[in-house]
Amino acid sequence: MSIRKPSALFLAVAVLLAGAASAQDTKSVAAPARKQASQKSQSSTIRVENVSPEIRAIRFSNPPLNFIVPETLASLNEAVKQLSKDERVKVVVVTSDVPGFFINHFDMGEFPDFLSQFADNGKPMWVDLITNLANAPFVTIASIHGRTQGGGDELALAFDLRYASKEKAVFGQPEVGVGLYPGGGSTDHLTRLVGRDRALEILLTGDDYGADTAEKFGWVTRALPEAQLDEFVAKLAARLASFDRTALATTKKQVNAMAFPPESALLASQGEFAKSLSWPGVQPRMQVFGKMYQELGPLKVESNLGHYVGEGNKQLQAQQAAKQ
Amino acid sequence: MSIRKPSALFLAVAVLLAGAASAQDTKSVAAPARKQASQKSQSSTIRVENVSPEIRAIRFSNPPLNFIVPETLASLNEAVKQLSKDERVKVVVVTSDVPGFFINHFDMGEFPDFLSQFADNGKPMWVDLITNLANAPFVTIASIHGRTQGGGDELALAFDLRYASKEKAVFGQPEVGVGLYPGGGSTDHLTRLVGRDRALEILLTGDDYGADTAEKFGWVTRALPEAQLDEFVAKLAARLASFDRTALATTKKQVNAMAFPPESALLASQGEFAKSLSWPGVQPRMQVFGKMYQELGPLKVESNLGHYVGEGNKQLQAQQAAKQ
Amino acid sequence: MSIRKPSALFLAVAVLLAGAASAQDTKSVAAPARKQASQKSQSSTIRVENVSPEIRAIRFSNPPLNFIVPETLASLNEAVKQLSKDERVKVVVVTSDVPGFFINHFDMGEFPDFLSQFADNGKPMWVDLITNLANAPFVTIASIHGRTQGGGDELALAFDLRYASKEKAVFGQPEVGVGLYPGGGSTDHLTRLVGRDRALEILLTGDDYGADTAEKFGWVTRALPEAQLDEFVAKLAARLASFDRTALATTKKQVNAMAFPPESALLASQGEFAKSLSWPGVQPRMQVFGKMYQELGPLKVESNLGHYVGEGNKQLQAQQAAKQ
């Protein structure tokens, strides 16, 4: 599969958007991330901790908005590959160090870099990462205390188990609302987990979903009171860590063989996402959302994204009606 | 695939049934519908309304029992094809104008006509309609305020999103209870949406299911209080209508490619339905239900169909036991 | 597919375990069952009752722990085959006569005998039984008043409908917790019914799940108050028994064709289970659990199995840490 190069038009829009946001909040959006892409530094967005020989924590941090940047994918993929070689590791718990967000969507200013990011084996970095997560001989557990949006949700969907704070976790796939295709695997995962119609509702509306609805739909494994979440995950991790690694890994492998999206589907989805960057609905929406970022600040928009996706489209619709 | 012609035996039974019901209630069952088959008239059971350039409503009305008649399929298919050509249309909301019913089952007196009804492309009309709904470049939303039974439920299952009134919506697939095969796609849709065992319970018992159970099982997207349903659907439609049509249509297409029953399955199911018209259990049940229609009136039976399917079979069982 | 012979090592462990338990409680575990294997006697663990010409009950009884023994599989398979030939039979209700347990896991002392147990057609007995259940021309209903663990849960998953007592039914797949692969079909069934992540949670933790959670996940068809369960099942069976057998059987067949694990998957799973008997984690866990059986008594352990699977692994982990 060939990944089509995003159009020059979008590059301009994306740079505009990234610039607009940076101007308003120097810590935000694309600026700090861009430098880190494809370099390993002390300031990686990914940190691996030894909880015990059998249990590791992967902590993600890219304040203030916890956007995924290209460095995130490279570092996370490297961590997964290294941990897969360590025969002691049975459980990996994934958490966020940034209040309010678990893993947020891709930094929109970095789309071109994501699409030109490849693993050592020549596969698109995202697809290699997701496949490595599926095949890892340890159990991955997402402990979700905050917003989980777009590519961040698609990462969450690639972990084995997902536990969400009833009070704080929020889920959404905003891509369609900004004119894009949700191409990181959510179409495959959600259709399997929540059924055709609920997957369509989630993907087409781009709206926010609380943890209780996510649990009812089967989007997360369980929703738990915020006060109990860490203890629940710690106990679960400890239990699994006392089990036999071969039994855990073989059973995980078999279930994933049945229900994890195959690499061909992940590649096709990424290709569709790349194509969607040139769709006619993207540029006008990027302009509207860039302006909204400037006026309201990225944190306010990102913390109520489902709502603002609706507002942005409403504004665009009003603008277009006024022109006619 | 060749659709087997229903046996002469069944034709006689069906005509008997239609006649019996018509005698009791002149507005009911087959009589008014038969005339409309394959002709387009002012009195179509399908009406298309422009809510806005982007949003259309398809209103179904065939009082008093809202049976699907051959004209319904032809008109609905034509509406879907026309709306698919209109590049402004992003959302189509499907509703009923008949209190008590969303879309009811096929008019049993018209089974032979349904099976000899073909689209211009030579495909069985039902299969062509369902396929066209799956492929339509707009989002279809069922707003369900009443009973949704048999073929009506199978139509509902072919829409993209299903919102049901907690107080008024009721779902059921009564086919097996009258000795027939549920051949309009419910086997495929329900097995995917609700799982093997719940699909079996629904299809084998032919019983009624309230909206809350339907939501719990994943049969409908959401159940909502009657008082909120219309506003919920209107807001959802307005939100989607402000989004980019390419993004909506491409995402819908991908999800449907994964989870919508393929045309081959729809054809096989219709073939099995056609065969089932000659199964030995049909004729005695048609006689029992025809008598029940006469004695209680079609509205009473149709408004509590799950119960009366059980009662009819109990009567038949008692008759057969008495003979031995 | 060739089923690999379990290692001599495991045989020794299994005999040790069976012996240990028998010493403590002469009625328990392997001893009484071993004699019955592949012989039909008055003392079969399976009893078929005529509720009516159309409804049969299969009652399972192997007190005190309701372990599946080889005789169970042979007798149950024979019953299913005989009932499939009886054209009157439309519904088979499966129940237990032993308080506290529906169908418990395989008797661990009998693993070698299970793996060398073949049906007349040369297929592994377990695979033949499960396939015959899927293909039976009657509807199978599990009425579940007690614990349903391991192979017992995998049998339950192979029935068509599952109704569970809210107060008394408990579900679990403890295999991974004792170092084994859950190879009786649970990977296939659960992944389809509850989704990838919940299937992983159930299979990897080996923990207990109450009926309400099982219903929420879609593991059982419905959870009902203990006081209503028998009446609910009796009414459901009576309703189905009044329906046409061809309609019931054809619809069941179609749904199972879509969603029942194919024989190839069942064979592969059994092969993986056979291999897992030689996995390094099994022997140390069998020793720990054998000791736990001796000290606490099998009934106490089996009646809180999820908990004790955790405790046993914790003890083993502590032992291993002390050695280092």
pTM for the predicted model, two decimal places:
0.91
Interval B159-172 mean pLDDT: 98
Q: Which of C166, C30, C167, C41 is nearest to C104 (CA)?
A: C30
Residue A1 has pLDDT above 70, yes or no: no
Burial pattern C1-30, b for ≥16 Cβ within 10 A else e, equals eebeebeeebeebbeebbebbbebbeebbb
List of residues 6+ apart from A163 with CB closer than 8 A: A141, A142, A143, A144, A220, A221, A222, A223, A224, A229, A232, A233, A236
- 3-state SS of chain B? CCCCCCCHHHHHHHHHHHHHHHHHCCCCCCHHHHHHCCCCCCCCCEEEEECCCCEEEEEECCCCCCCECHHHHHHHHHHHHHHHHCCCCCEEEEEECCCCECCCCECHHHHHHHHCCECCCCCEHHHHHHHHHHHCCCEEEEEECCEEECHHHHHHHHCCEEEEECCCCEEECCHHHHCCCCCCCHHHHHHHHHCHHHHHHHHHHCCCEEHHHHHHHCCCCEEECHHHHHHHHHHHHHHHHCCCHHHHHHHHHHHHHHHCCCHHHHHHHHHHHHHHCCCCCHHHHHHHHHHHHHHHCHHHHHCCHHHHHHHHHHHHHHHHHHHC
According to the model, what pLDDT value does residue A10 have?
A: 43
According to the model, what pLDDT value does residue C36 have?
A: 38
B307 reaches C (C-beta below 8 A): no
Q: Which of B121, B204, B212, B133 is nearest to B168 (CA)?
A: B212
Residues of A in contact with B193 (CB under 8 A): 195-197
Q: Give the range among A106-120, B9-23, B102-116 with minimum mean pLDDT.
A: B9-23
According to the model, what pLDDT value does residue B3 have?
A: 34
B93-126: pLDDT as tens digits: 999 999 999 999 999 889 889 999 999 999 999 9
Residue with more model confidence, B35 or C137: C137
What percentage of chain A carries pLDDT values higher than 90? 85
Residues of B in contact with A181 (CB under 8 A): 247, 250-251, 254
Interval A115-121 mean pLDDT: 96
A43 pLDDT band, cuts 50/70/90, is confident
Interval C6-14 mean pLDDT: 42
C193-230: pLDDT as tens digits: 999 999 999 999 999 999 999 999 999 999 999 999 99
Burial pattern C160-181, b for ≥16 Cβ within 10 A else e, equals bbbbbbbebbbbbbbbbbbbbb
Interval A77-98 mean pLDDT: 98
Interchain pair B255, A317: CB under 8 A: no
3 state DSSP class of C268: helix
The mean pLDDT value of chain A amounts to 90
According to the model, what pLDDT value does residue C57 have?
A: 98
Q: What residues form DSSP beta bridges with B23? A: none
According to the model, what pLDDT value does residue A324 have?
A: 79
According to the model, what pLDDT value does residue A42 have?
A: 52
Is A177 in contact with A309 (CB distance < 8 Å)?
Answer: yes
Using a 10 angstrom Cβ sphere, with 0-12 exposed, 13-18 middle and 19 or more buried, the burial of residue B5 is: middle
Return the structure tokens found at A169.
């976790």
Residue A26 has pLDDT above 90, yes or no: no
According to the model, what pLDDT value does residue B32 have?
A: 34
Residue B11 has pLDDT above 70, yes or no: no
Interval A300-312 mean pLDDT: 98
According to the model, what pLDDT value does residue C112 have?
A: 87
The mean pLDDT value of chain C amounts to 90
One-letter amino acid of B294? Q
Tell me whether residue B154 is one of the annotated catalytic residues: yes
Residue B15 has pLDDT above 50, yes or no: no
| Residue from the list A187, A197, A310 with its beta carbon closest to the beta carbon of B239 | A310
Q: Which chain C residue has its CA at the smallest distance from A192's CA? A: C195
Residues of B in contact with C250 (CB under 8 A): 181, 272, 276
Please tell me the distance from the alpha carbon of residue C269 to that of residue C190, in angstroms, as a whole number: 13
Helices C196-205 and A245-259 cross at an angle (nearest 10°) of 160
Residues in chain C: 324
Is C219 in contact with B251 (CB distance < 8 Å)?
Answer: no
Residue with more model confidence, C34 or A179: A179
The mean pLDDT value of chain B amounts to 90
Q: Give the range among A161-170, A196-205, B242-251, C36-45 with minimum mean pLDDT.
A: C36-45
Q: Give the range among A29-33, B15-19, B260-264 with minimum mean pLDDT.
A: A29-33
What percentage of chain B carries pLDDT values higher than 90? 84
Please tell me the distance from the alpha carbon of residue B273 to that of residue B4, in angstroms, as a whole number: 10
Residues of A in contact with C180 (CB under 8 A): 247
Long-range contacts of A257-263 (CB under 8 A, 24+ apart): A258/C187, A258/C188, A258/C191, A258/C192, A258/C196, A259/A192, A259/C191, A259/C195, A259/C196, A259/C199, A260/A134, A260/A158, A260/C196, A261/A185, A261/A188, A261/A189, A261/A192, A263/A123, A263/A127, A263/A131
According to the model, what pLDDT value does residue C61 have?
A: 98
CA distances from B24 to B29, B44, B283, B294, C271 (A): 10, 24, 20, 6, 64
B6 vs chain C: nearest CA distance in angstroms? Answer: 16
B67-99: pLDDT as tens digits: 999 999 999 999 999 999 999 999 999 999 999
A241-299: pLDDT as tens digits: 999 999 999 999 999 999 999 999 999 999 999 999 999 999 999 999 999 999 999 99
- Paired sense of beta strands A55-60 and A46-50, if any: antiparallel
Residues of C in contact with A232 (CB under 8 A): none
Q: Which of B225, B153, B235 is nearest to B188 (CA)?
A: B153
Over its C-alpha atoms, chain C yields an Rg (Å, rounded) of 19
B252 reaches A (C-beta below 8 A): yes
Q: Which of B239, B164, B173, B247 is nearest to B207 (CA)?
A: B173
A27 reaches C (C-beta below 8 A): no
Residues of A in contact with B259 (CB under 8 A): 191, 195-196, 199
Count CB neighbours of C214 within 10 A: 28
- Counting one residue from chain B and one from chain C, the pairs whose CB atoms sit within 8 A come to 99
For an interface test with A, give the residue of C186, C191, C192, C200 to mutate (most A CBs within 10 A). Answer: C200
Q: Which of C276, C243, C233, C267 is nearest to C9 (CA)?
A: C276
Q: Which chain C residue has its CA at the smallest distance from A249's CA? A: C204
Interchain pair C280, A220: CB under 8 A: no
| Residue from the list A182, A201, A207 with its beta carbon closest to the beta carbon of B221 | A201
B77 vs chain A: nearest CA distance in angstroms? Answer: 21
| Residue from the list B162, B248, B250 with its beta carbon closest to the beta carbon of A272 | B250
Is C43 in contact with C79 (CB distance < 8 Å)?
Answer: no
A112 pLDDT band, cuts 50/70/90, is confident
For an interface test with A, give the residue of C193, C196, C315 to mutate (most A CBs within 10 A). Answer: C196
